[in-house]
Amino acid sequence: MNILLANLPWTVGGRSGVRAGSRWPHLKIAEEENYLPYPFFLGYATSLLKTNGFQARGLDAIAEGMSEDAFLDDAIKFKPELVFAEVSTPSLAQDMRILRSVKGACKCMVAISGPDKNIETASFLKENPHIDFVIPGEYEETLLELAQAIKEKADLGAVDGLIFVKDNVPVKNKRRKLSSVDDAPWPDREDFPIYKYHDCPGGIPEPSAQVWASRGCPYRCMFCAWPQLMYSGNTYRPRDMALVAEEIEFLVRKKKFKSYYFDDDTFNIGKDRMEELARELEIRNINVPWAFMGRADLADKATLQAFRKVGLHAVKYGVESSSQEILDRTTKGLDIKKAVEGILATKELGIKVHLTFTFGLPGETAKTIDETIKLALFLDPDSVQFSIATPFPGTRFYDLAKSENMIVSESWSDFDGNSRSVIKTGSLMPEDLEAAQKRAYEEWKDHRLHMKRYVKLSPVRLFTLCLKEHGLSYTMRKSVEYLRDRRFKHYFKQTKNSFF
């Protein structure tokens, strides 16, 4: 039985999108031109199907740069009996159009999954009769059982976690129990073009492997889609660190990756686990550069030092806002002062830092945006991401935004968060949030230019040079800004208490 597992093409107006593998499906902007995440769920599902004897093939049309026509031609040649695809809110209309063509050309069954609650509704299934099956959340085991049921002509009602239509009536089977993450085979790295994927915080060398050391997240950020939609709630399932180290050793020794990145929802949970990984890497003598996605308020200096000895090069931290009130309202559970301490401690160890910030969360004002931009410049990370808060259907943020009349668009293609806003917050309209994102990137670029030119200069030399190049009025204005905001580290040493 041939099964095609696809990350469908997605381009709009010359811009390429990222969907499978990304917690935030969106069309990319210039600042992230090379970003391309590995499609973990597709990789694990492909591997599981192959392990159980199916002729499964993974096809990442985005990574391969395929057009819709090229993808359709490829699918026809493979002659699948079942096509499975990940879909997303902003790409949904295009996804449905492509899958409608695939079903017509291949005469196959079509199954989908993705972080979008809309695809589970009766109205969606009625409007899209070319979709035979929907699998909410983690889909690997359900997809395997579905394939077995189709092959054996067994009762689909016995496949836990499956949604399908029977006699024109949607049927939603009981929820699937989550299995141990240590029982899953490693994700497929044969069909997917593993050396094309790019997520290299701090410039870790390529090719760089992307790895999971856990699934899920125990924190309750109301805007984060994966924990709420892909993991059936805020479940957290860590992998055995010895098995994680074994996979890394395989990727480094056999697949010749020059670095690796832990793209967990939150990697640095549990000090004992972190110390265990450091020991496992040391035992195996694996010392290539690596990075992880984590929480700044969990940053532990001793653990970071141990990681540094076995190659830790960079860290991604999600800050989102400088406002403690906004962070509390979004139930992120982050103490901003403790997070700043963690970020500065990370930098003090020579570890490169990437930070993410979000505009438009509940309670956002022009003042909180200004303060968040100032914090971003004060922290002076090596790279940064500014995004616009997007209420994906099925998240608590969507429910709140809907109840408070924050949502201004019902066109799902607008739910991108990287170029347009679909919400308003109090006094801020969508265009204000879009302008804030643009201004933040402009100020960031200006800041980095100044840092690159002036970081090694003394304040007196900097003042003199600025006076010579820009005149007295500009220099005095900038000096007042530096004294007021403490924005650049070449004027003020960063300390945990110097911002607040």
Query: 366: how many CB neighbours lie within 10 A of its CB?
Result: 12
* CB 236 within 8 Å of CB 285: no
In the numeric block, which tokens belong to residue 397? 């943020």
> CA–CA separation, 116 vs 98, rounded Å?
18
Phi, psi (degrees; rounded to nearest 5) at 5: -110, 120
In the numeric block, which tokens belong to residue 352? 């490169």
| Tens digits of residue pLDDT in 244-276 | 999 999 999 999 999 999 999 999 999 999 999
Ranges of residues in the chain with a pLDDT under 70 are: 452-457, 469, 481-500
> CA–CA separation, 11 vs 14, rounded Å?
6
> CA–CA separation, 29 vs 20, rounded Å?
17
> Residue 495: what pLDDT?
53
> Residue 155: what pLDDT?
97
Dihedral of the alpha carbons of 411, 415, 421, 422, in degrees to the nearest 10:
50
Confidence (pTM): 0.90
Helix (H) or strand (E) holding 324, with range, is helix 324-329
* CB 299 within 8 Å of CB 343: yes
Dihedral of the alpha carbons of 245, 248, 253, 256, in degrees to the nearest 10:
-170
> CA–CA separation, 425 vs 494, rounded Å?
32
In the numeric block, which tokens belong to residue 218? 């125990």
CA distances (Å), origin 116, targets 23, 113, 316, 332? 11, 8, 25, 21
Q: Which residue in the block uniquely carries the two structure tokens 């020059």?
A: 258
